[in-house]
Amino acid sequence: MRKAMLPFLLAAAASADTRKLTNPCLSAPFAALPFCNASLTIDQRSRDAVGRMSLTEKIDALGTEQGPTPSLGLGKYDWWSEATSGVANGAHGADGFHTHFAYPVTTGMAFNRSLWRVTGEAIGREARALMNAGKAYSTLWTPVVNLARDPRWGRNVEVPGEDPFLTGEYASSFISGLQNKQGGFLQASACCKHFVANELEKTTQLDGEEYDRRHDNAQVTERDLLDSYLPPFEACVRAGVSGLMCSYNSLNGVPACASKELLDTAKSWGFDGYVTSDCDADRNVYNTHKYAATRAEAVCDCVRDVLTAGTDVDCGEFVTRHASKALAEGLVDEALIDERLVNLFKVRLRLGHFDLSFDNKKPRGPLDMIPESVVCSKAHVQTSYEGVAQSATLYKNDGALPLRRVETLLVSGPTANISQVLASYYGPRDVCGGAYPGLVDAVREAGRVDVVYEQDLDRAVAAASTVDAVVLALGTDLNYAREGRDAPSIRLPADQLRLVEEVAAAARKPITVVLLTATPLDITALKANDKVGAIAHLGQPSVAVVGFSDLLYGRRSFAGRAVQTVYPAAYEDAISIADFNMRPGPSVFARPDCAMKNVSRCPRGVNPGRTYRFYEGKAVVPFGFGLSYTTFRYALRVVGATSFVVDVTNTGSMASDDVVLLFLVPPNAGADGVALKNLVAFDRVHVGVNATVSVALSVPSTVFAKKGAYRVEAGVRGDSRVGFDAATPQWWPTQLFFSEQAILGDDRIRRYNNRIFELHRAASSVVDEDWDPSNPSLQSACEASPARCGDEYSFVAASANDLDSSVYRISKQNAEAAHKIAEAEHKQLVASLTSAERDKREHYKRRAARLAKSPAHARRKSQPKTRKDEKIFPDGQDSVNVAGLGAEEHLAAIHADQFHRLLRADSFDDFQDM
């Protein structure tokens, strides 16, 4: 039968060449075959498809550039498409004009999950539209979720920052938008890369030592792996990403693409997708890592290793070229190849390649109805501008910004016109409209400002004294750092520093410096220069830089926050980029500033700690820092065991967004490899003048696993702090009534929680007025002196506006007495509720009562950890999706166990007994 069908099959595959994708299941004879039967499971359909392929077709399908598959009526398919900043042009994208978005190093600074999701959704939507038009494929190799763990890494431009929690949240939001499941199918496939510890491109040190990603054997401690390098990838998997890319490097001696342990780790998180190698990474297992035992057997052994490990498709020709020999030698069998291909076909089925029409005129689902006209739509272009407007970060402002009453303006500097150079880097070369606006266009103010653009130093100095304002564009471009090339230095180039000094000296008033760079350069000299009135950091926005205009002229306020620590220049002399240790300590690598060619004579470096979490020095610009045109006051309140509310009050004269960052300072912070602090929650809100917005933030209970004194800080400078002892959290001042506040969000309850705090503090004795969490003597009395503990407990607390915390010790008797007073006041409060508030309270009491009787509740009591999207309230079908709740109800939902106990209790004593 196959021979009789072959001419027809070849004709069908040939006809598909006019479009990049066609669905063979729309016509005979394939429509009647099981892999086209939508009533079967994806696994059944995928296995049926693979079972119909010839061995030659199977081997060919192990490469990313898969040729036609006549037995399935499929044309060729390329798994490799790029879309970090928009759908790319060329061989790994699609022809035509596409929307170009700012790079992640820029948009990460927005700390806005909605922006990240909408950006991903727009990119995925354009990809699907181009696929429907027959111009593109739909497996996009984005996002990059490695950490900006070293300021010199060449690919910092592609990542949202240095923090693993931030990077994971970015990835989750971006993936949700890009894949955007509709009608049962993924809009596009996202692929998180590069798995794992890949943050090195190519560096040559002064002593002649060269390190590059294809030879690198990243030595990573288990501690660093678990709390720094792996979490962003786990977040990808939890978000449902459909692809992973294994990296070039080895990890502790095992090439990533040949590491079954590593790829099985992804499966343990629930990964259900395909794994691709980075391009030629499978070949590097053989030729650079030399992983096989002997050269004679190396080629086939490496084919076996990557396939057995779980790498499904090879970006390159190594596996497809040598798989037949590996089969002949019995190192692999056809069943192993089948398993790899099943994963690939399952992803294509999830994309609708065997169910949809890719035809707007004959749609078989909502994704078919996405027209090519959405590409470069006004909404998408505006989203790209929004990425810059929300992300630009103000490092310094002595009143130079916003610009007022400016008619003439000088623009100079090496990065003022780099948009076109940047555009084609993992994004569209042909951008919407065909123009490549740069900083000059952003400052023109729609033609209302006469801009003098001058790159000659002498003429720029002369012009500076004649204009109303000066904007200098400094930084780096892709010639400085990119894939395959690490930045040579983090020092501000001497010619740029000279430009600033001479132009600023000639200008009528302090100038504005705009940094366009993915490499965080040491700007100490700029901060100290009184003639530099403002410094704004934009990352690498490319053509989206025009979104900066609203900030420059004060129609909107800056609200971005730094996502990379800016280190002093001496940092690059202390530690090699090849040292992957996150924590401070001695390094096995030579100091990078050693120029002796006899490497053994070079002194070893000392790691000062990487990223804000471990860096022991003083940052030039700390992670999370960012100024605004207005001012804010923070008040941090505890509303549950792991839930907090930050009351953000705009005390300035301009409505503005604000990014609220919540950091956790653990016990013994900075000692024995313990992080100095960790970002555990964040949100972005808009706050009107004189208005207060309450920002609800929740953190997983697992972050409090270690006993001892913790401090929670809101803001980079600890704008508001609270602390407590994890050994005795039951005496946390506001714990018992958090759920009432979460539901009602009432000022009376806010005042009431403060009252509880006052009662506790009044009934306590002060142990230390200036709490130092690193002092072990201030741990719980019960933990420090079990024999003398008795009924004493300790807690740490601070008033909302204090920067210093104090440790208090309270007896159980006094604590109970305080709660009896609180209980009486609570009853008075409940009696004063309005009818609507009482109805709402009773509604949740009924929910809580049903929860207490449910089998699911019993399971949760034994496994209290919950996710934000977990259904934990019985309602209707015994479920309420927390994602659908408001922020205040969400707080109550994630602490369902305590919540239902409180609302069912008639008194504090009843609560304790439950």
pLDDT digits (tens, 9 = 90+) for 486-535: 999 999 999 999 999 999 999 999 999 999 999 999 999 999 999 999 99
What length is written for the chain? 914
> What are the CA-CA distances from residue 496 to residues 493, 503, 521, 619 (Å)?
5, 11, 11, 21
The predicted model gives 121-140 an average pLDDT of: 97
pLDDT reported for residue 447: 86
Mean pLDDT of 597-609: 94
Average pLDDT score over residue span 100-125: 98
Whether residue 271 is predicted with pLDDT greater than 90 in this model: the reply is yes
Of all helices (H) and strands (E), which one includes residue 87?
Answer: none
Q: In what order do the strands lie in the sheet with 765-768?
A: 765-768, 806-811, 792-797
Which pLDDT score is estimated for 858? 46
The answer to whether residue 286 scores a pLDDT higher than 70 is: yes
Under DSSP, is residue 4 helix (H, G, I), strand (E, B) or coil?
A: helix
> Nearest CA to 372 among 116, 87, 117, 180?
87
**Which pTM was predicted?**
0.81
The rounded distance, in Å, linking the Cα atoms of 188 and 752 is 50
Give 649-654's long-range contacts (Cβ < 8 A, gap of 24+): 649/687, 649/690, 649/691, 649/692, 650/687, 650/688, 650/689, 650/690, 650/691, 650/692, 651/690, 652/628, 652/689, 653/689, 654/554, 654/557, 654/629, 654/630, 654/689
pLDDT value for 16: 41
What was the pLDDT predicted at 178?
98
Query: What percent of the chain has a predicted confidence (pLDDT) above 70?
Result: 76
Helices 494-506 and 457-464 cross at an angle (nearest 10°) of 30
Q: Give DSSP secondary structure letters for 842-910.
A: HHHHHHHHHHHHSHHHHHHHHS----TT-B-S--TTT--BGGGS-HHHHHHHTTHHHHHHHHH-SSHHH
Distance of CA 714 to the CA centre of its chain: 20
CB 218 within 8 A of CB 249: yes
Mean pLDDT of 643-672: 94
Higher pLDDT, 424 or 88: 88
Question: What's the rounded mean pLDDT across residues 740-753?
Answer: 41
From residue 676, alpha-carbon distances to 206, 607, 614, 702 in Å are: 32, 15, 6, 17
Tokens representing 261 are 């342990």
pLDDT at 835: 74
Closest CA to 85 of 68, 98, 72, 71: 98
The verdict on whether 530 is a catalytic residue reads no
For residue 276, give the nearest of 317, 236, 320, 312 by alpha carbon.
312
Residue 28 is classified by DSSP as T
Three-state SS for 378? helix
pLDDT at 735: 28
* Helix and strand element counts for the chain (H, E): 31, 29
Token couple for 887: 């922020």
* CA torsion through residues 298, 299, 302, 308, sign: negative
pLDDT at position 716, please?
Answer: 86
Is residue 648 within 8 A of residue 697, CB to CB? The reply is: no
Task: Tell me the three state secondary structure of residue 47.
Answer: helix
Q: Say how far apart CA 248 and CA 258 lie, in whole Å.
A: 10
Comparing CA positions, the residue from 833, 866, 871 lying closest to residue 851 is 871
Q: What is the DSSP string of 231-258?
A: HHHHHHHHTT-SEEEE-SSEETTEEGGG
Mean pLDDT calculated for residue range 295-318 = 91
Least confident range of 500-504, 594-598, 743-747 = 743-747
Do the bridges between strand 692-698 and strand 765-768 make them parallel or antiparallel, or are there none, so unpaired? unpaired
Q: Which comes out higher in pLDDT, residue 684 or 14? A: 684
Give residue 634's pLDDT.
93
Give the whole-number percent of the chain exceeding pLDDT 90. Answer: 72
The answer to whether the peptide bond before residue 402 is cis (omega within 30 degrees of 0) is yes
Which residues on adjacent β-strands are paired with residue 633?
649
Alpha helices (H) along 367-510: 378-389, 419-423, 439-443, 457-464, 494-506
User: pLDDT at position 640, please?
Assistant: 81
Return the sign of the alpha-carbon dihedral for residues 453, 457, 463, 465. Answer: positive
Question: Which residue in 207, 216, 224, 278 is the catalytic one?
Answer: 278
Give phi and psi for 481, each to the nearest 5. -155, 135
* Helix, strand, or coil (residue 370): coil
CA distances from 700 to 165, 235, 681, 720, 866 (A): 12, 14, 10, 20, 8
- Cis-peptide, bond into residue 493, ω within 30° of zero: no
pLDDT of residue 202 exceeding 90, the answer is yes
CA distance 125 to 107: 19
Structure tokens at 676: 């100095």
Distances (CA, A) of 64 to 70, 139, 505, 806, 900: 17, 11, 56, 60, 53
Distance, CA of 792 to CA of 707 (rounded, Å): 17
Q: How many CA atoms lie within 13 A of 892 on its CB side?
A: 25
Q: Looking at residue 673, what DSSP letter applies? A: T
Q: What is the pLDDT of residue 298?
A: 80
pLDDT at 758: 57
Q: How confident is the model at residue 782, as a pLDDT?
A: 34
Pick the range with the lowest mean pLDDT from 38-47, 801-810, 822-831.
Answer: 801-810
CB-facing half-sphere around the CA of 314: CA atoms within 13 A: 29
* Token output for 838: 């009482």
pLDDT at 306 over 80: yes
Among residues 516, 415, 493, 425, the alpha carbon closest in space to that of 155 is found at: 425
Most confident of 148-152, 663-667, 785-789: 148-152
CA 431 vs. chain centroid, Å, equals 25
Q: Are strands 189-195 and 139-140 parallel, antiparallel or unpaired?
A: parallel
Check residue 708 and give its pLDDT: 81
Q: What is the pLDDT of residue 851?
A: 52
Residue of 173 and 424 predicted with greater confidence: 173
Residue 564 has pLDDT above 50, yes or no: yes
Q: pLDDT value at position 829?
A: 66
User: Would you put residue 865 in left (φ > 0), alpha (ψ -120 to 50) or beta?
Assistant: beta
Cross-strand partners of 211: 203
- For 54, other C-beta atoms within 10 Å of its C-beta total 12
Looking at the predicted structure, is the pLDDT value of residue 736 above 70?
Answer: no
794: β partners: 809
Residue 801 has pLDDT above 50, yes or no: no
Cα gap 826→824, rounded to integer Å: 5
3-state secondary structure of 23: coil
Given a cut of 70, whether residue 695 has pLDDT beyond it is: yes
| pLDDT tens string 209-267 | 999 999 999 999 999 999 999 999 999 999 999 999 999 999 999 999 999 999 999 99
